[in-house]
Structure 1
C-alpha cells in the first residue's frame, strides 16, 4: 500500500508535514509506503536533520504549491505541477491508494472531483469531523464545509456515508443517525430540515433516531449527526475553540483535551472514488501523523468499496 502525502500543504509546511511523516512511518508496516509529494531537497534536508534515512520514503519532486487563498478550480487547472494536483494525478492513475493534504481545502475537494471523481449515485461528497462524547467514545458530524447549501436528498446521502464510515473505520455497529436541528419535534427547523425529516424517517438505508439539538452534540443519543455544510462548519469551528479556550484559561480536563484536532488528523472527503483526507491548515506533526494513519485505515477497511455497494 502506498499513501501519498502533500508535504507542501499547511501553514507550517514542509517542516511540520515531514516531521509528521517521520512519526507516521513508525506506525506503518514494512509493506506500507509513504510517498512524499513536494520539494524533495527540502524534505531530505529535514530528514537528515532528524537523523532519519530518506530510504524509508518515496519522493515525487515538485516545488509548485496551491496557496490557501487561491481560487480552487483555477488553481487546479492552472497549476498541474502543484503538489495537490500531482497527488490527485497519482491517485487517479493508481500509483497511490490514498492521498492526504493539509493544504487548500477547496482545492482538495475540486481536485478529488476532477480526478478520481465521485462514486456513481453520490450527488455531493461530504466532509466529516469527530465529536467527542462526554461519557467516552465518539460521534461523527457531517457535512462540515463541503456543501454550504443542501437539499433533502443530500442530507439523506450524508446519513448513508456517515453510517458506513462509523461502521468500517470506527467499528460502531448499527450506528444511530440523527438530524441536527433547532428542536426535537418532527416539524421543527427551516424548510430544508422540515423536508428532510420524513425522508430520513422513511428510509431503510440507516438507523434514523430523529432530531437532536446543539446541546445534545456531546451526549449519547446518536452516532452520526447530519447537517448542511454551513451549519456543520459553524459547529466545527466553535467546538475547536473549546480546546484553545481551556489552554488559555489554564484548565486541564480530559474531556476538553479530546477536542484537540491533532488527535483525529483530518476530515475524510466521503463519496469520492478513492480515500482522500484533508488536514487542518495549522496541522502540527502529530496531526499530520494521524492524518496519514486515518488514510491507511480508510484503505484497509475497504470503505470506498462499501460506499460503492451502498449506492449501486
Structure 2
C-alpha cells in the first residue's frame, strides 16, 4: 500500500506534516509506505533532524506550493511541479493508493475531479465531516462545503455515499440516514428539503429515518446527516467553535474534547475514483498522523469499489 501525503500543505508545513508522517509511519505495517510529496532533499533532511529515518519513506520531488489564497483551477494547471498537482498525477497513474493534504481545499477538489475524476453516476462529489455523538461513537455530516447549492437528487446521492462510508470504514451496521431540516414533519423545510424527503423515503439503498433538526446532530437520531454544502459548512464551523470555547473557558469534558479536529485528521472527498482526504489548514502533527491512518483505513475498506458498485 502506498499512502500519498502532501508535505507542503498546511499553515505549519513542512514541520507539522513531517512530524505527523513520522508518527503515522510507526503505526503502519512493513508493506504500507508513506509517499511524501515536496522538496525531496529538504524533506529527507528535516526527517533526519526530527529523529526519523528517511529510508522508511518514499519520495516524489515537488518543490512548488499552491498557496491557500490561490485560484484552485489556475494553480493546478499553472503549477505542474506543485505538491498537490504531483500528488494527483501519481494517484491518477495508480503509483499511490490514496492522497491527503492539509493545503488548498479548492485545489484538492479541482485536482480530484480533473485527475481521478468523479465515479460514473455520481453527480457531484461531497466532503464529509465527522460529528461526535453524545453517548458514544461518531456520526457523519455531508456535504460540508463542496457544493453550496444542491439539487434533491444530489442529496439523495450524498445519503448513499455517507451510508457506505459509515458502514465500511466506521463499521456501522445499517446506518440510519437523517435529512437535516428545521422540523421533524415531512412537509417542513424549504424547497430543497421538501423535494428531497420523498426521494430519500423511496431509496431502498439507505435506511432513511426522516428529518433531523440541528438539536439531533449529536444524538443517536441518525448515523449520517445530509444537507447542502452551504448549510453543512455553517454547521461544521459552529461545531468546531464548541471545542475552542471550552479551551478558552478552561472547561474540561470528554464529549467536547471529541470536537477536536485532530482526532479525525481529515475529511474525505466521497464520490471520486480514489481515496482523497482534505486536512484542516491548521493541522498539527497529531492531525496529520490521523489523516494518514484514515487514508489507510479507506484503502483497506475497499470503499471506492463499494461506491462504484452502488452507482452501477
Same fold per superposition (TM over 0.5)? yes
Q: Does 1:295 align with 2:295?
A: yes
Question: Could you report, residue by residue, the CA deviation over 1:200-224 in whole angstroms, capped at 9, with x for unpaired residues?
Answer: 1111010000001001111111000
Q: RMSD between aligned alpha carbons? A: 0.6
Aligned to 1:95: 95
Aligned to 1:148: 148
How far 1:41 sits from its partner (Å)? Answer: 2.3
Question: Could you report, residue by residue, the CA deviation over 1:164-210 in whole angstroms, capped at 9, with x for unpaired residues?
Answer: 00000000000000000011110111100110001111110100000
Aligned to 2:255: 255
How far 1:99 sits from its partner (Å)? Answer: 0.3
Aligned to 1:33: 33
Aligned to 1:264: 264
TM-score normalised by the chain length of structure 1: 0.99
Aligned to 1:82: 82
How far 1:42 sits from its partner (Å)? Answer: 2.3
Instruction: List aligned pairs for 1:108-123, cutoff 5 A.
Output: 108-123=108-123
Q: Return the alpha-carbon distance in structure 2 between the equivalents of residues 148 and 187 of structure 1.
A: 23
How far 1:36 sits from its partner (Å)? Answer: 0.5
After alignment, is 73-82 or 108-117 more displaced?
73-82
Instruction: List aligned pairs for 1:202-241, cutoff 5 A.
Output: 202-241=202-241
How far 1:48 sits from its partner (Å)? Answer: 1.5
Residue 307 of structure 2: SS of its match in structure 1? helix
* Count, aligned residues: 312
Structure 1 gap segments, 5+ residues each: none
- Return structure 1 stretches of 4+ with deviation > 6 angstroms: none
After alignment, is 38-47 or 184-193 more displaced?
38-47
Q: Return the alpha-carbon distance in structure 1 between the equivalents of residues 62 and 170 of structure 2.
A: 35
Aligned to 2:170: 170
Q: Return the alpha-carbon distance in structure 2 between the equivalents of residues 174 and 156 of structure 1.
A: 16
Residue 259 of structure 1: SS of its match in structure 2? coil
How far 1:269 sits from its partner (Å)? Answer: 0.2
TM-score normalised by the chain length of structure 2: 0.99
